[in-house]
Amino acid sequence: MKKLVFLVVLAGVLLCGCSENGEGDVTEGAVALPSVTEIAVETTAEITLVEITEAEIVEKPQFEYDWQELYYQKMSENDWWGDIAMFNVFDLDGDGIPELMISHDDASVPKAKIFTMKNGELKELGGYGSYGWFAYDFERGYIHDIMTGQGQYISTIYKLDCGEMIEIISFYDVFDSWRPDGYFEINGEEVSSEVYYDERENYNYNYDNFISREYNLNPSEAERILRSSVGTEDD
């Protein structure tokens, strides 16, 4: 704004020094100056450019640990900010560095994506669950990847270990018009209903432990949660 005021005042001073003839023309020999409108347009464009640059700098917070920076960058990708998308940061494997979970939607199909740190780099572990959620066994560290629908129950249980997702066991059952008494599998092998339900009982989970959709996915919330998350630097 100081530049604009200075240029306008300067233009006024120079114009006052030029007398007009009877026909309203500027005295011969006067210096031609850009109009005030032209100066204002040019100066406004310069100010706008500076403001955009400053805004971009503000949107890139500085974090204490590399994993916080990498998680923030991942959440900023692909226009994931939005009212529906949510996330959580939680240590799934107990190594002192939390994992990042991003859930794009809470419709039936979308899974929650899990990211972890391995050897100082961000690693995507894939999508788990349905409706943007997956269940977590806090005592044993099991991740329940479950889908249900059309008479089917499909479940695979994983455990995160040293940056790798290890499959523990899988269950499948279906009830339909062809199999009214049900069909049952454990790890892809057909079993009786008695064996099936006895084994599934060993992997029951609390339906309240759906942890992948805890916080709205937006810049301020992402920065707040990352800064408050307990963790150390990745070795």
pLDDT in tens, 196-226: 999 999 998 776 678 889 999 998 999 999 9
What is the structure's pLDDT at 41?
46
Same domain, residue pair 54 and 149: no
What is the structure's pLDDT at 164?
96
Give me the mean pLDDT over the 186-205 stretch: 95
Number of folded domains in the chain?
Answer: 2
pLDDT in tens, 63-121: 888 999 999 999 988 666 767 899 999 999 999 999 999 998 887 678 999 999 999 99
Residue 182 in domain: yes
Same domain, residue pair 51 and 70: no
Same domain, residue pair 87 and 183: yes
Lowest mean pLDDT segment, chosen from 1-5, 38-42, 104-108, 194-198: 1-5
Same domain, residue pair 189 and 219: yes
3-class DSSP state of 151: coil
Q: Which domain holds residue 37?
A: 1-13+32-58
Give me the mean pLDDT over the 46-56 stretch: 45
Q: Please name the amino acid found at residue 130.
A: S
Same domain, residue pair 90 and 137: yes
- How many Å apart are CA 141 and CA 161, to the nearest integer? 10
- How many Å apart are CA 88 and CA 65, to the nearest integer? 17
- How many Å apart are CA 131 and CA 138, to the nearest integer? 20
